[in-house]
């Protein structure tokens, strides 16, 4: 921010507790001084900056459930964005102003449309939108470095990231450049990009192999200096670092900790970078879909920080006023009284119909792949040519050697399917300690299937599976945060395929679409097909209404599977509700009112206090549901239980501090009863 602007802010702060902005009285710390009428003259150049972040492939038209759960308005998505950008460009041209369209990363992962062709459809839409630059986001690496390179080659705008380097040479990568200089009306505007250094922890190691992610703070000063040497007088940043939820509290906690913490090494978020690094006029943030209508202004550096909600629900817009003589930023204004985020309601921004049709056609094809019944015949033929394993002479299926830290019984017998659901609470809660503890428990239990939720680090999850060579896994690709996985024993289960139903509209599933895995379960010379669904439903706030709707959607989907011959279904996960609750305060009527087709086997133990899967409350939140084809087998010798982690770990504190606040729940389904 220019020196004159900082002096003006300082003087006005001494006189006023707040300033009148577009008819709205706003505290100074929430937003700096705005004087649109003062700046709308020939002395100042007006630069419109339009920005998006965390689109996650959500450019199709959709419903704004978050605005009105009962009667959601229509959102125009990428087609309304196209209209809005076209309109602003037209207005800017007429008045001699400028326009920049920027993205802050995570542009394609998160919907079937986005991942169907590894991001190319969304990139081509961005080309049609004529983006000027985009930061490299974490999930741009969902399909590996080569895919990012291909996307960058097809992009008609630069990918920016100044802190990603080639691990071998230490030099630049071929898919991104550190910064870009734009010249508008003789004014040089420099833009640099940074990507969170947490990226390698959020993906499987092979996704970012060959790259090193430096701390953004360590490179920002050099990036700013390089732009200034090129003549830039206004510095913008595309910071894929994230403005946290509850930014005021997060900022206060950060400022209080700066004396003790070494932020040169720890990953930083956008607020921290804005506070610790001077010289950035405006920062556009992404990586966390926490949107704010009003920007944050750092009280020391006066850097402005913007971040939108993402997922195609809005587009950000700010008008920057640059003094033509000093070529420094002097102020800004926002497009609405509410602030800088323009909601893309079709009532407010009419979608471009040709763009809407183009997007809809592609989305329909991509979405069908998540709902249609796959044809596994060819894969089944291949599997049946493999000689089956035989465990008749064994009491249990062999596992791996244990460290003998805990005394944990084995549960896996050759004549039954054992499946476990386990919310691992922000895995890994205590780093490597969590990984080693869970590895030992899973090795000892030896279950055929583990459905796990709340995976926070894919890198750590991958290391966990490396310690469990007898297991394979299926992992979500479209969750907004905290992934789910289905872990299976490779000696008895062969995966046929996986899907994430409702990924195209996962609002009721809290941004975590169900993960479905289809398997062939082989025992001796027999086999059967089985479908496992892993879910993690909405918790708090408006959770009850969203859980009810998601359960209805899931019930209807599973009934369709049954009607198409996929009869052996197990649904496991954190349902975030107790099946023993009655009346309106419960999410499960869709299944409870259909006992002909579905049964919660956990209902048998949900009311027993010492079986609580969430002991802190206490309550039973982690349920296992089976379809009617499995009823008889469960009745003839099956059982369900919550695993006694307190006893195995010596105390509840020992377990909760390093693993989770949820206990795993196990079901056993005998084979013989299924094959009689």
Tens of pLDDT along 334-349? 999 899 999 999 999 9
Q: Across residues 284-313, what is the average pLDDT?
A: 94
CA distances 396 to 399, 418, 447, 486, 665, Å, are: 9, 12, 10, 22, 20
pTM of the model: 0.85
Cα 187 from chain centre: 37
Q: Which of 337, 365, 393 is the last residue of a domain?
A: 365
Q: Is the pLDDT of residue 403 over 50?
A: no
How far is residue 313's CA from residue 342's CA, in Å, rounded to a whole number?
9
H or E segment and range at residue 272:
helix 270-276
Domain-located, residue 271: yes
Q: Is the pLDDT of residue 4 over 50?
A: no
Q: Across residues 539-556, what is the average pLDDT?
A: 93
Q: Across residues 79-105, what is the average pLDDT?
A: 97
CA distances 295 to 268, 271, 662, Å, are: 18, 11, 37
pLDDT of residue 229: 97
Domain-located, residue 328: yes
Domain-located, residue 370: no
Q: Is the pLDDT of residue 586 over 90?
A: no
Task: Clarify whether residues 360 and 420 are in a common domain.
Answer: no
Instruction: Using alpha carbons, select from 230, 220, 311, 233 the residue that is nearest to residue 47.
Output: 233
φ/ψ of residue 481, rounded to 5: -165, 155
Q: Across residues 79-91, what is the average pLDDT?
A: 97
Task: Clarify whether residues 521 and 441 are in a common domain.
Answer: yes
pLDDT of residue 26: 31
Q: Is the pLDDT of residue 525 over 80?
A: no
Query: Is 31 exposed, middle or buried (CB count within 10 Å of its CB: 0-12, 13-18, 19+)?
Result: buried
Hunting for tokens 């005998």 — which residue is that?
Answer: 670
Q: How confident is the model at residue 33 (pLDDT cuts 50, 70, 90)?
A: very low
Is residue 160 within 8 Å of residue 177, measured between CB atoms?
yes
Q: Is the pLDDT of residue 222 over 50?
A: yes
DSSP letter assigned to residue 630: G
**Complete DSSP assignment for 457-525:** -HHHHHHHHHT-TTEEEEE-SS-SSSEEEEEEETTTEEEEEEE-TTGGG-GGGTT---EEEEEEEEETT
CATH of the domain at 489: 3.60.10.10
Q: Is the pLDDT of residue 585 over 90?
A: no
How far is residue 468's CA from residue 447's CA, in Å, rounded to a whole number?
12
Is residue 333 within 8 Å of residue 39, measured between CB atoms?
yes
Task: Clarify whether residues 438 and 307 are in a common domain.
Answer: no
Residue 21, classed as helix, strand or coil, is: strand
Task: Clarify whether residues 610 and 486 are in a common domain.
Answer: yes
φ/ψ of residue 657, rounded to 5: -70, -25
Task: Clarify whether residues 497 and 630 are in a common domain.
Answer: yes
Q: How confident is the model at residue 402 (pLDDT cuts 50, 70, 90)?
A: very low
pLDDT of residue 415: 81
pLDDT of residue 368: 81
Domain-located, residue 132: yes
Is residue 472 within 8 Å of residue 497, measured between CB atoms?
no
Domain-located, residue 478: yes
Tens of pLDDT along 550-583? 999 999 999 999 999 999 999 999 999 999 887 6
Is residue 642 within 8 Å of residue 411, measured between CB atoms?
no
Q: Which of residues 268 and 411 earns the better pLDDT score? A: 268
Q: Is the pLDDT of residue 91 over 80?
A: yes
pLDDT of residue 122: 97
Task: Clarify whether residues 155 and 225 are in a common domain.
Answer: yes
Q: Is the pLDDT of residue 207 over 80?
A: yes
Q: What are 182's strand-pairing partners? A: 189
How far is residue 51's CA from residue 342's CA, in Å, rounded to a whole number?
10
Task: Look up the domain containing 244 and give its range.
Answer: 38-64+73-365
Task: Clarify whether residues 321 and 427 are in a common domain.
Answer: no
How far is residue 521's CA from residue 449's CA, in Å, rounded to a whole number?
11
Q: Which of 341, 365, 389 is the last residue of a domain?
A: 365
Is residue 419 within 8 Å of residue 449, measured between CB atoms?
yes
Q: Is the pLDDT of residue 522 over 60?
A: yes
Using left for φ > 0, alpha for ψ between -120 and 50, and beta otherwise, residue 302 falls in left
Task: Clarify whether residues 348 and 434 are in a common domain.
Answer: no
Q: Across residues 253-279, what is the average pLDDT?
A: 84
How many domains would you assign to the chain?
2
Q: Is the pLDDT of residue 383 over 90?
A: no
CA distances 612 to 2, 148, 382, 577, 645, Å, are: 59, 45, 43, 12, 11
Cα four-point dihedral sign 353, 359, 364, 370: negative
Q: How confident is the model at residue 391 (pLDDT cuts 50, 70, 90)?
A: very low
Least trusted range by pLDDT, from 2-11, 135-144, 662-671: 2-11
DSSP letter assigned to residue 243: P
Task: Clarify whether residues 352 and 430 are in a common domain.
Answer: no
pLDDT of residue 375: 72
Is residue 329 within 8 Å of residue 1, measured between CB atoms?
yes
Q: What is the CB-side half-sphere exposure of residue 235 using CA atoms within 13 A?
A: 27
Domain-located, residue 428: yes
Q: Is the pLDDT of residue 404 over 60?
A: no
Task: Clarify whether residues 468 and 552 are in a common domain.
Answer: yes
Three-state SS for 297-335 is ECCCCCCEEEECCCCCCEEEEEEEEEECCCCCEEEEECC
Instruction: Using alpha carbons, select from 267, 258, 261, 206 the residue that is nearest to residue 239.
Output: 267
Domain-located, residue 2: no
CATH of the domain at 272: 3.60.21.10
φ/ψ of residue 258, rounded to 5: -65, -25
H or E segment and range at residue 13:
helix 3-15
Task: Clarify whether residues 296 and 437 are in a common domain.
Answer: no
Q: Across residues 252-264, what is the average pLDDT?
A: 75
Q: Which of residues 3 and 229 earns the better pLDDT score? A: 229
Domain-located, residue 337: yes
Query: Is 464 exposed, middle or buried (CB count within 10 Å of its CB: 0-12, 13-18, 19+)?
Result: buried
Residue 79, classed as helix, strand or coil, is: helix
Own/partner long-range contacts of 176-179 (Cβ < 8 Å, ≥24 apart):
176/136, 176/152, 178/223, 178/226, 179/223, 179/226, 179/227
How far is residue 42's CA from residue 65's CA, in Å, rounded to a whole number?
44
Task: Return mean pLDDT, the chain.
Answer: 88
Q: Is the pLDDT of residue 24 over 50?
A: no
Q: Across residues 376-383, what is the average pLDDT?
A: 66
Q: Is the pLDDT of residue 472 over 60?
A: yes
Tens of pLDDT along 594-632? 999 999 999 999 999 999 999 998 999 999 999 999 999
CA distances 245 to 80, 87, 138, 306, Å, are: 27, 32, 18, 13
Percent of the chain with pLDDT over 70: 87
């Amino acid at each position: 921010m220019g020196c004159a602007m900082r002096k003006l802010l300082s003087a006005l702060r001494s006189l006023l507790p707040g300033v009148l902005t577009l008819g709205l009285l706003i505290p100074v710390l929430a937003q700096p001084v705005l004087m649109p009428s003062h700046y709308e003259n020939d002395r100042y150049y007006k630069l419109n900056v339009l920005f998006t972040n965390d689109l996650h492939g959500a450019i199709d038209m959709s419903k704004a459930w978050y605005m009105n759960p009962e009667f959601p308005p229509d959102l125009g998505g990428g087609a309304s964005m196209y209209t809005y950008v076209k309109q602003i460009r037209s207005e800017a041209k007429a008045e001699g102003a400028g326009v920049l369209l920027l993205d802050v990363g995570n542009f394609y992962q998160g919907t079937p449309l986005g991942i169907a062709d590894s991001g190319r459809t969304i990139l081509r839409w961005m080309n049609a939108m004529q983006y000027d630059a985009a930061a490299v986001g974490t999930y741009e690496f969902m399909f590996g470095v080569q895919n990012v390179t291909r996307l960058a080659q097809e992009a008609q705008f630069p990918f920016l990231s100044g802190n990603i380097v080639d691990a071998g040479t230490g030099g630049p990568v071929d898919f991104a450049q550190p910064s870009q200089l734009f010249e508008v009306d003789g004014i040089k505007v420099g833009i640099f990009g940074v990507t969170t250094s947490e990226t390698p922890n959020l993906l499987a190691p092979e996704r970012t192999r060959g790259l090193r992610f430096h701390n953004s703070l360590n490179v920002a000063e050099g990036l700013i200096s390089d732009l200034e040497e090129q003549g830039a007088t206004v510095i913008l940043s595309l910071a894929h670092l994230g403005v946290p939820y509850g930014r005021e509290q997060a900022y206060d906690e950060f400022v209080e900790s700066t004396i003790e913490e070494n932020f040169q090494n720890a990953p930083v978020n956008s607020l921290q970078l804005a506070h610790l690094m001077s010289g950035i006029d405006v920062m556009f943030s992404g990586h966390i879909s926490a949107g704010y209508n009003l920007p944050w202004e750092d009280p020391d550096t006066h850097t402005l920080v913007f971040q939108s909600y993402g997922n195609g629900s809005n587009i950000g817009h700010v008008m920057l006023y640059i003094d033509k003589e000093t070529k420094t930023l002097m102020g800004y204004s926002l497009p609405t009284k509410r602030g800088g985020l323009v909601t893309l309601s079709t009532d407010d921004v009419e979608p471009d119909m040709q763009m809407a049709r183009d997007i809809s056609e592609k989305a329909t094809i991509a979405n069908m792949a998540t709902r249609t019944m796959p044809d596994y015949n060819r894969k089944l033929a291949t599997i049946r040519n493999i000689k089956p394993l035989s465990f008749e002479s064994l009491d249990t299926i062999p596992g791996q050697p244990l460290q003998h830290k805990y005394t944990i019984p084995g549960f896996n017998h050759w004549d039954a399917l054992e499946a476990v659901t386990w919310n691992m609470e922000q895995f890994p809660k205590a780093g490597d300690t969590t990984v080693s503890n869970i590895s030992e428990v899973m090795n000892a239990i030896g279950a055929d299937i583990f459905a796990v939720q709340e995976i926070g680090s894919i890198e750590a999850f991958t290391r966990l599976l490396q310690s469990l060579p007898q297991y394979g896994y299926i992992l979500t690709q479209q969750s907004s945060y905290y992934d789910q996985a289905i872990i299976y024993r490779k000696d008895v289960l062969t995966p046929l395929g996986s899907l994430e139903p409702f990924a195209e509209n996962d609002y009721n599933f809290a941004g975590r679409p169900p993960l479905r895995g289809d398997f062939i379960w082989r025992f001796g010379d027999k086999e059967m097909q089985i479908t496992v669904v892993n879910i993690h439903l909405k918790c708090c706030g408006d959770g009850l209404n969203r859980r009810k709707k998601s359960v209805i959607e899931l019930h209807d989907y599973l009934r369709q599977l049954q009607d198409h011959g996929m009869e052996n279904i197990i649904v496991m996960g954190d349902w975030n509700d107790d099946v023993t609750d009655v009346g309106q305060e419960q999410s499960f009527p869709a299944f409870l009112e259909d006992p002909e087709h579905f049964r919660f086997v956990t209902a048998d133990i949900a009311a027993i206090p010492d079986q609580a899967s969430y002991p802190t409350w206490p309550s039973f939140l982690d349920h296992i549901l089976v379809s009617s084809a499995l009823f008889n087998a469960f009745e003839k010798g099956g059982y369900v239980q919550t695993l006694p982690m307190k006893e195995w770990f010596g105390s509840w504190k020992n377990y909760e501090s390093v693993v989770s606040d949820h206990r795993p729940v196990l079901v056993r389904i005998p084979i013989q009863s299924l094959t009689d």
